[in-house]
Chains A and B, each alone.
Chain A
Amino acid sequence: MDSDNTLRTPVRSLDQAVAIAIRRGLRLSDLALEYEAQESGRPTAEITADMNLRLAVMQASIEQGCQPGLYSRSGLTGPVGHLLAERERQHQRPTLAGRSVFLAARRAIAIVSVNAAMGRVVATPTAGSSGIVPAVLLTAAETLGLPSEAVVQALFTAGLIGLVIGNRATLSGAAGGCQAEVGSAAAMAAGAAAEMGGGSPEAVASAVGLVLQNSLGLICDPVAGLVEIPCIYRNAGFAAVALVMADLALAGVRLPLPADEVIDAMGQVGRLLPVEWRETAQGGLAATPTACRLARQLCGHTSCPRATR
Chain B
Amino acid sequence: MSAHYRSIFDIIGPVMIGPSSSHTAGPARLGRVARNVLAGALAHQHPQAQPGLVRATLYGSLAATARGHGTDLALLGGLLGLAPDDPRLREADQLAAQAGLVVQWETGDRADLEQQNLPPTSIRLQVWPAPAPADDLPETPPAVDMLGVSVGGGSIEVRQINGFPVSFAADQPTLLVFHRDRPGVVAQVAMALARAGINLSQMSLGRKGRGRQALMVITTDQPIPIILTEQVRQLSSVDWVAVVETGYGGMLAWTPTTPCAHPSGR
Contact = CB atoms under 8 A, between A and B. Distances in A.
Interface in A272-299: 275, 278-282, 295, 298-299
A210 B61 CA distance: 30
Interface string A147-171: 0000000011011101100111111
**Which of B4, B11, B60, B68 is packed against the most chain A CB atoms within 10 Å?**
B11
B16 A64 contact: no
A9 B153 contact: no
B61 A279 contact: yes
Interface string A29-50: 0001001100111000000001
Interface in B55-100: 60-62, 64-70, 73, 85, 87, 89-90
B158 to A, nearest CB: 17
B22 A172 contact: yes
Interface stretch (B45-53, B134-142, B174-182, B253-261): B253-261
A22 interface: no
Contact of A73 (B21, B251, B263): B263
A60 B15 CA distance: 12
A155 B9 CA distance: 10
Contacts of B19: 73, 115-116, 118, 127-128, 226-228
A279 B58 CA distance: 14
Q: Interface size for chain A: under 10, 10 to 19, 20 to 34, or 35 or more residues?
A: 35 or more
B36 interface: no
Contacts of B69: 225-227
A100 interface: no
A38 to B, nearest CB: 11
A175 B119 contact: yes
Interface in B100-142: 119-121
A125 interface: yes
Contacts, number: 234
Contacts of A303: 64-65
Interface string A43-67: 0000000110110110010001001
Interface string A161-205: 011001111111111000010000000100000000000000000
A145 interface: no
Contact of B12 (A69, A120, A158): A158
B262 A71 contact: yes
A130 B13 CA distance: 9
Contacts of B151: 172
Interface in A116-136: 116-128, 130, 133
A225 B12 contact: no
A32 to B, nearest CB: 6
B12 A51 contact: yes
A304 to B, nearest CB: 10
Given A120-B16, A281-B64, A10 B6 contact: yes
Contacts of A32: 8
B5 A167 contact: yes
B153 to A, nearest CB: 5
A260 to B, nearest CB: 13
B223 interface: no
Contacts of B10: 163, 166
A126 B152 contact: yes
A122 B120 contact: no
A36 B9 CA distance: 9
Contacts of B89: 118
Find the residue from A133, A160, A162 having the highest chain B CB count within 10 A.
Answer: A162
Contacts of A118: 17-19, 70, 73, 89-90, 260
B12 A114 contact: no
A262 to B, nearest CB: 16
B226 interface: no
- 4 A-B pairs with least C-beta separation: A172-B152, A225-B68, A225-B65, A115-B18
18 contacts: A53-B251, A71-B261, A74-B263, A114-B18, A117-B262, A118-B18, A120-B85, A125-B11, A125-B21, A155-B12, A167-B2, A169-B2, A170-B3, A174-B60, A175-B119, A175-B120, A275-B120, A280-B120
Given A163-B5, A228-B19, A280-B60, 15 more contacts: A39-B6, A78-B262, A120-B16, A122-B13, A127-B19, A128-B19, A156-B12, A166-B2, A169-B2, A170-B2, A172-B152, A226-B68, A227-B20, A281-B64, A281-B68
